Chain A
Amino acid sequence: MYEYAGATRNILFSDPGPPPVDSWMGQSVGRWEGNSLVVEVTGQNDSSWLDRSGNHHSERMRVTERHTPDGPNHLRYEATIDDPESFTRPWKILMTLYRRVGADARLQQFKCVEFVEELMYGNLRREPLK
């Protein structure tokens, strides 16, 4: 589960074959390699960007993720991005995820309320909407 956008991702541990349709988050197939959870992601559509500067990818992108615990509260996250249509060679990112250790740690809600300007500044209208 992701806090961002309240998204969820199902990781399948038996490969159902190629995804029948492209989707925003694709199809994730996982396996254990020693201590690592390895996830192969395919079938993502080409409509999302990798960042706000517009780094893009095609629907042929394959992402291989590895989640490896580096200790009780540290998770090493590696992702190899392979997309011959967009990049000259596979490339990789790596970061450490830190466990939230607070007793009250929990995912917050992310509900995309439309036109937040109205929500935040609507009271400044000469005649506020009801």
Chain B
Amino acid sequence: MKPLMHLARMLAPLLAAPLVAVAADYKAPRTAFGDPDLQGLWTNASITVLERPDRISKPVVTPEEAAVIERVVNSRLAADRAPTAAGTGAPAAGGEVRGYNTFWLDLGSKLARVNGEIRTSWIVDPPDGRMPYSSEGTRSMRASVTGRIFDDPEQPSLGERCIIGYGSTGGPPMLNVLYNNHYQIVQSPGFVVIVVEMNHDARIIRLGGAHPPADMKFWLGDLIGRWEGDTLVVETTNMHPAQAYTAGTRHRLYIPSDAKIVERFRRVCAEEILYELTVEHARAYTQAWRALRGKAQMKPMHLLTPSVAALLLAIPLTAKSPEVSAHHALAAESTPTRRCSCAARCRASSGSTPMRECTSWSRSRASPRASGRSRAARRTRCCAPASTATRSGSAPRSWCAATRARTTSARRCARPTGATRLSPTGRKCSWARAAPARRGTGRIRLSPRNRNKITNPVRRS
């Protein structure tokens, strides 16, 4: 079996080659004014994240390994969706009430298929799928961390304040988070606009022109695009410095506001846009090949697959209201699952989840034994507020206030919980730690403990 898998790995690039060739022949349709047409609703929902997770040793996995990872994640999420056990009762006064569970989330159920590879990280370069921070970059990132001081209304994180979406959803790079992973692209002569579902941000890309003076800073930066054949190339400058550090529940990221950021959007078939991003900064990042280039790069790639129509209608509402969820479910039910038809690798990449299959990382009260099984569960466990504020109200303002209450309680979270046993990185709030650079060993690591998680994700080892 082992040699066979090895053979399959060797053959994979060869097998993928003709499919890529098919995609290379693809010519994007044109708008009425002659530009390549990127318009439509797109999503990057996936269980693939910016950086290769600690517990997976490879940025690229085989279909068999992907199936294992997807099964582990999805069974954990499904367990979270289970109804609360009868007779559980209310939490004790001052006890944890936890955040919303899987039902409210929509993070996708599959690893991304990018250029014929199944990826555990969006970062393709460095090849280990991890951010190449230099020591200066790590220091700067720590200094930029927001959302932990609450003496001033402007100190909480930008996502919590609803200034921009959390976790770099509005980009660059446009990263996937736990929900609202949808984008609508609209074009007119001289402009491309990307409407971001999260926080209803809009990235307005001017085609041509000059950036304003460097001392003018904008949320999401100043974007100028150009067409290189069928590829939309976008350079972003004048980024607001407060945006340099951003964190989701599954990733955190530091891009200095003076970094060089280039994004490329290319429609590789009717139902897929390949999104490529290169970030260069001479001091914040470093890698072995730094000598070759004189500066370091990180280069995540995204796959955008088509979304269910009409989801963006929910933008003015908070995604937490049950009515909206019902609306989403309706939209998902009335729209048949669309299949990509142009190339096999496109078919394989349609990883978006119908809204009904909402998924989550937090834990329900029903499975207390499972507490601390994942990083997110740990956070829920140690950072949950002592009130039910997170569930109150659907108006944006009260939601922000509720989120603030939740995050405020995170401040007190400096003590390790029982969960640290699972991973040494769980000490303190896990997002505050430095990411250790790890090299891929060429094979997936599954410790006996992790195997337990595959067969029974809620079993305590």
Hey, which bits of chain A sit against chain B, CB under 8 A? 1, 6-8, 10, 12, 16, 19-21, 23-25, 27, 106-107, 109, 111-115, 118-119, 129-130
Contact = CB atoms under 8 A, between A and B. Distances in A.
Contacts of A19: 313
A9 to B, nearest CB: 9
Nearest to B161: A114
Contacts of B154: 113-115, 118-119
Contact of B204 (A107, A112, A113): A107
Contacts of B218: 109
B200 A27 contact: no
Contacts of B206: 106
Interface residues of B, number: 31
Contact of A8 (B153, B310, B315): B315
Given A106-B206, A114-B161, A25 B153 contact: no
A113 B206 CA distance: 25
Interface in B312-345: 312-317, 321, 323-324, 326-327, 330
B124 interface: no
A47 to B, nearest CB: 9
Contacts of A25: 316
B193 to A, nearest CB: 7
Interface string B148-191: 00011110000001111000000000000000000010000000
Contacts of A20: 323, 326-327, 330
29 contacts: A1-B204, A7-B316, A10-B184, A12-B310, A16-B310, A20-B326, A20-B327, A20-B330, A21-B317, A21-B321, A21-B323, A21-B326, A21-B327, A23-B314, A23-B317, A27-B313, A106-B204, A106-B206, A107-B204, A111-B163, A111-B219, A113-B163, A114-B154, A115-B153, A115-B154, A118-B154, A129-B152, A130-B151, A130-B152
A109 B151 CA distance: 26
